[in-house]
Amino acid sequence: MISRKFTAIAAGLTLTLGLAACGGEGAGSGTNNDTADKDPSELVVGVAMPTQTSERWIADGDAVKSGLENAGYQVDLQFADDDIPTQQEQIDQMVTKGVDALIIASIDGTALSTQLDAAGAANIPVIAYDRLINGNENVDFYVTFDNENVGVQQATSLLVGLGLMNEDGSEGDAEGPFNVELFAGSPDDNNATFFFNGAMKTLQPYIDDETLVVQSGQSEFGAVATQRWSQDEAQKRMENLLTSTYNSGDKVDGVLSPFDGISRGIISALEGAGYATDEMPVITGQDAEIASVKLINDGVQFATIFKDTRKLADQAVDAASTFLEGSIPEPNDTTSYNNGVKDVPSFLLESDIVYKDNIAALLVDSGYYTQAQVDAGQ
C-alpha cells in the first residue's frame, strides 16, 4: 500500500499541476488544498441520495457509505424521500456543517444551484452520482453508466423479446407488425432523455417501416414521461392506454419501460385488464431490482438492465478520495455530458441486459444476489 506521506506529496504535486492546468476556474474547481494534509478520519463526506422507495438507491447509499468508511472517512448519508426541498435542505446542512466533499444523486438535476454555489464558495468538491446536476459550474466530476447505451439495451431487449432480433444482435425470425407502447422516466432527471433517445434511435427504423406500431400514437418524450419514475403513475397511464386504445380486442405486444418500478406498474395494469401472467407483452426494465428479477425468472417481465451499483459506488469513492488527496480524478469521457454550463468530466461504466437465461451468470455468480433471493423475489 502506498504510504499516506507519499500520497500527500504526490497529491501536492498533482494539485500544483492541476491548478496550473485549469487556472481561473476558482472555487469549486475540485481540489481542496487543506484536506490533502489531513488523515481521512478527520474528513467527512456528505452523501445525498434521492429516495429509499427504490431499492437501487438504498444499495447505492450503502455501498458508497461502506466504501468511504473502509477508506477511513466519516460519512453523512441522507435520503430525501424524492422531495426536492428535503434534498436541498440536507445539502445546505452538509455545506454548513463543513463536509469536505459531496456525492450527490439529485432528484431534480436543475434544482441544486444554490447548494452548489455554496459548495463552490467553500471549495467543497462535488461529485454528481449517476444523475447529472445541470446549470452549475461547480459539478467537478460525474460518475455514471453509459446512459444512452442503457436505452439502446432496453430497446434491444424489446426487439429480442418480440423475436425481431436475436440475443447476438442478428436478425430474428419474427415479422410483425407488433403493437407497442412506450414509457420514459422523470423529465427532471437528465438520464431519462438519454435512455429514451438511445431507445428511440434503435426502435425508430422499425416504427418507420411499421414493424412496430405505437397504437396510442404517444411517442414523444413529453407524452410518455413518468414524473418521479412513479410506479403508480405508470400503472395509471397504462390503464388509460388499455381503455382508450386497446378496448376492441387488440393486444399489446411490447412495452418499452425504462425502470423496473415502472414495469411493475405496467404489469399490474395489464393484469387488471385480464392479461394472464403467461401472456404478458414483452416488457423491459432497468436496475435488476430483486422483485423484477423474480418476475423475469417467472416469465412475467422479459428483461431488465443490470447496472452494478457496487462498481458505481467504487468510482464515486475513488473520485472523492482523489479530490480529498488534492488531485483530480481521471475521467474516461469528457464530451458526452454538458450540464448547460460546461462539459463535466465523467467516468462511465457499462451495463448488461438481463434475460431469464443469464440471471445466474450476471447476478448470482457475481454475488449481487443469492439464488434464494432470486427465487423469493426479495
Binding site for ligand BGC (CB under 6 A): 54, 56, 130-131, 185, 189, 191, 229, 259, 286-287, 307
Crossing angle of helices 55-70 and 309-324, in 10° steps, is: 40
Nearer to ligand BGC, 93 or 193 (CB): 193
Q: Which is nearer to ligand BGC, 79 or 259 (CB)?
A: 259
Q: Which CB sits closer to ligand BGC, 146 or 181?
A: 146
Q: How far is the CB of 130 from ligand BGC (least distance, A)?
A: 5
User: Hey, what's the cell of 81?
Assistant: 424521500
Cβ 194 to ligand BGC shortest distance, Å: 9
Among residues 198 and 326, whose Cβ is nearest to ligand BGC? 198
- Would you say 131 or 294 has its CB closer to ligand BGC? 131
Least CB distance to ligand BGC at residue 165 (A):
23
Q: Closest distance between ligand BGC and the C-beta of residue 195, in Å?
A: 8
Do residues 134 and 107 touch, judged by C-beta distance below 8 A?
Answer: no
Q: Which of residues 308 and 325 has its CB atom nearest to ligand BGC in the complex?
A: 308
30 Ramachandran zone, left/alpha/beta (phi>0; psi -120 to 50): left
Interatomic CA distance for residues 25 and 16, integer angstroms = 14
Rounded to 5 degrees, φ, ψ at 354 are: -100, 120
Q: Which is nearer to ligand BGC, 178 or 306 (CB)?
A: 306
Question: What's the closest the beta carbon of residue 170 comes to ligand BGC, in angstroms?
Answer: 28
Q: Please say whether the beta carbons of 217 and 292 come within 8 A.
A: no
- CB contact set of 130 (below 8 Å; sequence gap of 6+): 60, 105, 143, 144, 145, 191, 312
Nearest to 262 by CA among 235, 301, 296, 289: 235
- In whole angstroms, how close is the CB of 6 to ligand BGC at the nearest point? 37
Closest approach, Cβ 342 to ligand BGC, in A, equals 21
Residue 86 beta carbon to ligand BGC: minimum distance, rounded to whole angstroms: 16
Q: Which is nearer to ligand BGC, 135 or 187 (CB)?
A: 187
Give min distance, CB of 326 to ligand BGC, in A: 30
Which residue bears the cell 448519508?
77
Nearest to ligand BGC of 141, 178 (CB atom): 141
Nearer to ligand BGC, 125 or 261 (CB): 261
CB 289, min distance to ligand BGC, A = 9
